[in-house]
Chains A and B, each alone.
Chain A
């Protein structure tokens, strides 16, 4: 059996983390402002 498929598989395995790193970074910001002392929906 040729070693080439195995070498390709090993290369693909090594490159896999690089592909994962290339995914866009996601960030969710939650923010408030101008609350003006409100502590309840009706207050």
Chain B
């Protein structure tokens, strides 16, 4: 099992750094992500609110790696590792992180009112930064799988998906698009991670050779639809037998023919679908509602940041 975060995890908004609970909240989140075995997180715009030094200090002793293949300092040096390689389930997995591209340099640390900006940072264009890192992972690290954690605007991520080869899955964060379906986009598959801690996305992969990943949910959906179509077909046939008027018989005959055609198409999808492909994926979500019991120790830490009865509750 591999636990990852697509970024924009730590702060409510880009200008929420002055809120009294902003720092302890971000500290708690980073500590818990590490404790829960998160391997890597991309650095997004809403993670940089208290600056680069804050993130580096908070994760100095963590196993959690903060990643960005395109966030550089004033000298063009990467501020975080571009990627991490890990072995899970007999597969060598490369995880790349990316931050938003910025047209202008930005202050690396929060600015005190009336003070001039000190060190600056910049988000380089996504496409060349990702392409170079993916090439390195494929050719030098010989990874079986490349995952891109893209903490960048969706429109930019789509451009990357259309042009960069070698990425198996892109998990995007930035606008809070929520949960959804795994979408084939260009050369890769874009997967929504959910938002606001309301769900945990679960992507099940099966690898039995090379090639593109095929969505395993299609045959499963087809099987479910097939069941419904067969029920409708049975009812339509019963009515056809008991109907005596010519117009009714004609309409029902057409309905039966249409349902039979639909059944044939669904049988094809359900029978020879993704289950036979060498590489398949299946996306689902675990909803984290009140029915999921809280860990008492974590609950105490949360209540220190957000006491019961506070405005946020």
Query: Using a CB–CB distance below 8 Å, which chain A residues touch chain B?
Result: 23-43
Contact = CB atoms under 8 A, between A and B. Distances in A.
A31 B195 CA distance: 10
Interface of B: 1-13, 16, 22, 25-26, 28-29, 46, 88-91, 93, 145, 147, 149, 151, 169, 171-178, 191-198, 200-208, 278, 288-290, 302, 305-306, 310, 312-313
Nearest to A39: B302
Q: Which 7 residue pairs spanning A and B have beta carbons closest together?
A: A33-B6, A33-B193, A33-B173, A24-B208, A34-B195, A43-B312, A27-B89
A17 B7 CA distance: 41
Given A26-B89, A43-B313, A35 B203 contact: no
Nearest to A28: B1
Nearest to A32: B5
B88 A27 contact: yes
Given A27-B207, A36-B12, A42 B312 contact: yes
A37 B25 contact: yes
A27 B280 CA distance: 11
Given A37-B22, A37-B26, A41-B288, A29 B305 contact: no
A13 to B, nearest CB: 23
A35 B89 contact: no
B197 A30 contact: no
Q: Which residue of A23, A33, A34, A36 has the most chain B CB atoms within 10 A of its CB atom? A: A33
A43 B177 CA distance: 19
Contact of A30 (B192, B202, B207): B202
21 contacts: A25-B90, A26-B206, A26-B207, A27-B2, A28-B205, A29-B203, A30-B3, A30-B202, A31-B171, A31-B191, A32-B5, A32-B9, A33-B9, A33-B171, A34-B9, A34-B178, A36-B12, A37-B11, A37-B46, A39-B29, A43-B310
B172 A33 contact: yes
B306 A24 contact: no
Contact of A25 (B29, B89, B305): B89
A37 B29 contact: yes
A35 B195 contact: yes
A37 B2 contact: no
Given A30-B200, A31-B193, A37 B16 contact: yes
Contact of A43 (B147, B195, B208, B306): B306
Given A31-B6, A33-B194, A41 B289 contact: yes
A1 B5 CA distance: 64
B1 A31 contact: no
Contacts of B2: 27-30
A23 B13 CA distance: 46
A25 to B, nearest CB: 5
Given A26-B205, A31-B193, A34-B194, 4 more contacts: A25-B208, A28-B1, A28-B202, A42-B313
